[in-house]
A and B are shown apart, each in its own frame.
Chain A
């Protein structure tokens, strides 16, 4: 009974727990609720992933209204994989959050902070699970609206968080509105909002100018949300001034969910057989992805604020993901899903480590990192492992995803692209090298009494760091899940209704 309703409970539990946090008014109780509901979501998403991998697509009909009329939650290998990723990062950030947020936000505001965090979390899980295109918009806005406020909550430390949140609000709303415009045009053409149904009807209708315009609006709308290279201007400030824990949470989830949503539209709704779809991948995603790798990594080298440096590095990593998508072959798509997952755990890990430094020193500029290698050995060790993984050293997850990206490029015969991606990793070596040099080779300033971060912050940081190493050495789980996800999108975009399970 419970298991049959798991797809909807996954989203409903955090969504219902959110107002509960606001009512409790006590930080400790509110954090308890956050941890309980994120842990539930993590457990649930793992169960769902294994169910999907062994039994195939799960289709859940909300309120028992049959699709295409009712709202459907449709879980295949692709989105159940993203669900695991979002809930894993969410749970680790929730455990980490209590101590970290204590320093950065006043006790009265903490229960409200928890409410927003859960709303954001529920929204992202909703975007990932839903099979209804308009429902996706609603969940997208639930998560985005709470994200704007979460970013603005960094204002108690630095007032620039307010302007960062305002810019994010403008850009995010324009992105979401573009998506609605595009969806309206596709709806006018097909008369349905269910993604699988929409895909079938688009195949019947074929190419038309309405469809092309709708497609363009949808891709640009998601492009703003996922920070495709020239549309990334909102991201560095938002990540820099948000509370540490929010930066880590967003870096691991927000852009990843947007990437997933655009893949869903590229592959499931608009099938790649449509001429313009393949064209977009090669003439738009490939050059923009490569530009992101080089320009954003180049900018990252000159940053002295570590959070901003990591934010630019995120833009560059989105570039790798886009290049992976542009190969339009099964290896490229596998690499995309792998990098989606791997980048999320390493970047969240890195930002959690920076959060530990902020907790102890109150600053995240590169000068505060001087000598920290000896003062905060555990935090900095995790940071170094995360950094090595970003560069793509073997035995870390970063290597696995870069390996598959290069394989995808070679399969297409795109030697220069493979070369460019490896060269991009060298840029990462430069900017991480600077931090490591400061932390281990430079002496700490006189009278520095910084000590190691508390255990409740180190534990989630090290869970991510160890999974970064473990999944880098034995990549069985991620590679097979990513391949199943890629297969689900690539070969079986419209699984027949006969495969339905559920109530």
Chain B
């Protein structure tokens, strides 16, 4: 049993990843406010960044700079990948927020249930126009 506790404690970063992932995903699905949805989406993405960086960590490893001495290096590749993923995340957030602004301008609200009501009235108008 002791060993299992140690195993769980030693992998605390993965538990944090899982928690963030679940919380972020839950926020995206459950919140009706579009801005909160984007916040949730960001948390979800950040959990993945942490997952990659955890994978790249080597115990006692340092930054991969060659000094001539024999050293243990951390894997730099996940860091590079995540730099790219961060850029993608920022772009996604920017487009999401821009859309939220436009939705607010034309619907007058950013609450999903109110938007759905407006959409439904529009659909009924379309049906009546037939």
Contact = CB atoms under 8 A, between A and B. Distances in A.
A160 B28 CA distance: 20
Nearest to B130: A367
A138 B84 contact: yes
B41 A162 contact: no
Contacts of A137: 85, 88
B130 A148 contact: no
Given A134-B81, A159-B107, A169-B99, A365 B126 contact: yes
Interface size class on chain A is: 20 to 34
A181 B119 contact: no
Interface stretch (A74-82, A170-178, A194-202, A252-260): A170-178
A282 interface: no
B111 to A, nearest CB: 12
A389 B48 CA distance: 44
A166 B104 CA distance: 12
Nearest to B122: A160
Contacts of A180: 48, 85
A152 interface: yes
A151 to B, nearest CB: 10
A304 interface: yes
Contacts of A367: 129-130
A165 B122 contact: no
Nearest to B85: A180
A339 B75 CA distance: 43
B39 interface: no
A162 B103 CA distance: 6
Given A170-B41, A173-B92, A184 B103 contact: no
Contact of B25 (A160, A163, A174): A174
A165 B103 CA distance: 10
A381 interface: no
Contacts of A28: none
B106 A159 contact: yes
Contacts of B102: 152, 155, 162
B99 A165 contact: yes
B71 to A, nearest CB: 19
A430 to B, nearest CB: 19
Contacts of A134: 81, 84
A180 B92 CA distance: 15
30 contacts: A134-B81, A138-B84, A141-B88, A141-B92, A145-B91, A145-B92, A145-B95, A149-B95, A152-B102, A159-B106, A162-B102, A162-B106, A162-B107, A163-B107, A163-B119, A166-B96, A166-B103, A169-B92, A170-B41, A173-B41, A174-B28, A174-B41, A180-B85, A181-B21, A184-B55, A187-B78, A188-B55, A193-B77, A304-B127, A365-B130
5 A-B pairs with least C-beta separation: A159-B106, A188-B55, A141-B88, A166-B99, A162-B103
